[in-house]
Amino acid sequence: EDQVTQSPEALRLQEGESSSLNCSYTVSGLRGLFWYRQDPGKGPEFLFTLYSAGEEKEKERLKATLTKKESFLHITAPKPEDSATYLCAVQEGGDYKLSFGAGTTVTVRA
Protein backbone atom coordinates (compact mmCIF):
# COMPACT_ATOMS: atom_id res chain seq x y z
CA GLU A 1 0.00 0.00 0.00
CA ASP A 2 1.36 3.40 -1.01
CA GLN A 3 2.29 5.57 1.94
CA VAL A 4 2.35 8.79 -0.06
CA THR A 5 -0.04 9.74 -2.87
CA GLN A 6 0.22 12.96 -4.83
CA SER A 7 -2.48 14.54 -6.98
CA PRO A 8 -2.95 15.58 -9.64
CA GLU A 9 -0.22 13.86 -11.67
CA ALA A 10 0.02 16.91 -13.94
CA LEU A 11 -1.19 20.46 -13.71
CA ARG A 12 -1.20 23.03 -16.49
CA LEU A 13 -1.67 26.63 -15.37
CA GLN A 14 -1.81 30.00 -17.00
CA GLU A 15 0.61 32.55 -15.60
CA GLY A 16 -1.07 34.15 -12.58
CA GLU A 17 -3.59 31.31 -12.13
CA SER A 18 -3.25 30.12 -8.53
CA SER A 19 -3.72 26.45 -7.67
CA SER A 20 -2.91 23.75 -5.11
CA LEU A 21 -1.16 20.40 -5.13
CA ASN A 22 -2.15 17.63 -2.76
CA CYS A 23 -0.04 15.09 -0.88
CA SER A 24 -1.90 12.52 1.20
CA TYR A 25 -0.08 10.10 3.49
CA THR A 26 -0.94 7.05 5.56
CA VAL A 27 2.06 6.66 7.87
CA SER A 28 1.49 6.59 11.58
CA GLY A 29 3.68 8.74 13.77
CA LEU A 30 4.71 11.31 11.19
CA ARG A 31 8.17 12.61 11.91
CA GLY A 32 8.29 15.09 9.06
CA LEU A 33 6.79 15.88 5.66
CA PHE A 34 9.08 17.28 3.00
CA TRP A 35 8.44 19.13 -0.24
CA TYR A 36 11.01 19.14 -3.02
CA ARG A 37 11.15 20.75 -6.43
CA GLN A 38 12.74 18.86 -9.32
CA ASP A 39 13.66 20.40 -12.66
CA PRO A 40 14.14 18.16 -15.72
CA GLY A 41 17.48 16.37 -15.65
CA LYS A 42 18.35 17.53 -12.14
CA GLY A 43 18.18 16.25 -8.60
CA PRO A 44 15.42 17.22 -6.18
CA GLU A 45 15.86 20.59 -4.49
CA PHE A 46 14.59 21.05 -0.94
CA LEU A 47 11.70 23.47 -0.38
CA PHE A 48 10.02 22.87 3.00
CA THR A 49 9.77 20.60 6.00
CA LEU A 50 6.54 20.42 8.03
CA TYR A 51 6.40 18.64 11.37
CA SER A 52 2.94 18.98 12.90
CA ALA A 53 -0.67 19.54 11.85
CA GLY A 54 -1.48 23.20 11.43
CA GLU A 55 2.02 24.18 10.49
CA GLU A 56 2.53 26.41 7.46
CA LYS A 57 5.64 27.57 5.62
CA GLU A 58 6.10 30.02 2.77
CA LYS A 59 8.72 30.74 0.17
CA GLU A 60 8.05 33.32 -2.52
CA ARG A 61 4.91 32.14 -4.37
CA LEU A 62 4.79 28.77 -2.59
CA LYS A 63 3.01 27.97 0.65
CA ALA A 64 2.90 24.52 2.25
CA THR A 65 0.35 23.45 4.83
CA LEU A 66 -0.08 20.25 6.84
CA THR A 67 -3.03 18.39 8.36
CA LYS A 68 -3.10 14.98 10.04
CA LYS A 69 -3.67 13.20 6.73
CA GLU A 70 -2.43 15.46 3.97
CA SER A 71 -0.36 18.41 2.90
CA PHE A 72 -1.06 21.07 0.31
CA LEU A 73 1.39 23.08 -1.71
CA HIS A 74 -0.29 26.29 -2.80
CA ILE A 75 1.15 28.18 -5.75
CA THR A 76 0.01 31.80 -5.80
CA ALA A 77 0.15 33.77 -9.07
CA PRO A 78 2.61 31.32 -10.65
CA LYS A 79 5.21 32.32 -13.20
CA PRO A 80 6.71 30.16 -15.98
CA GLU A 81 9.82 29.63 -13.83
CA ASP A 82 7.63 27.76 -11.33
CA SER A 83 7.27 24.98 -13.90
CA ALA A 84 8.75 21.82 -12.38
CA THR A 85 7.86 18.53 -10.77
CA TYR A 86 7.00 18.89 -7.10
CA LEU A 87 7.75 15.92 -4.88
CA CYS A 88 6.34 15.14 -1.47
CA ALA A 89 8.06 12.78 0.98
CA VAL A 90 7.32 11.59 4.51
CA GLN A 91 9.53 10.40 7.31
CA GLU A 92 8.05 8.05 9.87
CA GLY A 93 8.81 7.60 13.54
CA GLY A 94 12.48 7.30 14.40
CA ASP A 95 13.44 6.38 10.85
CA TYR A 96 15.89 8.28 8.67
CA LYS A 97 14.30 7.01 5.50
CA LEU A 98 12.06 9.09 3.24
CA SER A 99 9.08 7.67 1.35
CA PHE A 100 8.32 9.67 -1.77
CA GLY A 101 5.19 10.23 -3.78
CA ALA A 102 5.30 10.06 -7.58
CA GLY A 103 5.17 13.84 -7.92
CA THR A 104 3.04 16.48 -9.61
CA THR A 105 4.36 18.03 -12.80
CA VAL A 106 3.39 21.69 -13.01
CA THR A 107 3.54 23.59 -16.28
CA VAL A 108 2.94 27.34 -16.21
CA ARG A 109 2.25 29.02 -19.55
CA ALA A 110 3.03 32.67 -20.15
The residue within the footprint of another protein, chosen from 18, 20, 45, 67 (CB under 8 A), is: 45
Could you say whether residue 97 binds another protein (CB under 8 A)? Answer: yes
- 27 counts as binding another protein under rule CB under 8 A: no
Q: How far is the CB of 51 from another protein (least distance, A)?
A: 6
For the stretch 97-102, contacts whose Cβ atoms lie closer than 8 Å and that sit 24 or more positions apart, written own/partner, are 98/34, 99/3, 99/4, 99/27, 100/4, 101/2, 101/4, 101/5, 101/6, 101/23, 102/6, 102/9
Q: Which of 29, 41, 68, 110 binds another protein (CB under 8 A)?
A: 41
Nearest distance from C-beta of residue 11 to another protein, angstroms:
16
Which lies closer to another protein via its Cβ, residue 42 or residue 110? Answer: 42
Stretch that binds another protein, among 17-25, 30-38, 57-65, 72-80 (CB under 8 A): 30-38
- Tell which residue, 27, 31, 59, 56, has the closest CA to residue 46: 59
Contact 31, 95 (CB under 8 A): yes
Report the interface residues with another protein, using CB under 8 A. 4, 31-32, 34, 36, 41-46, 49, 51, 87, 89, 94, 96-103
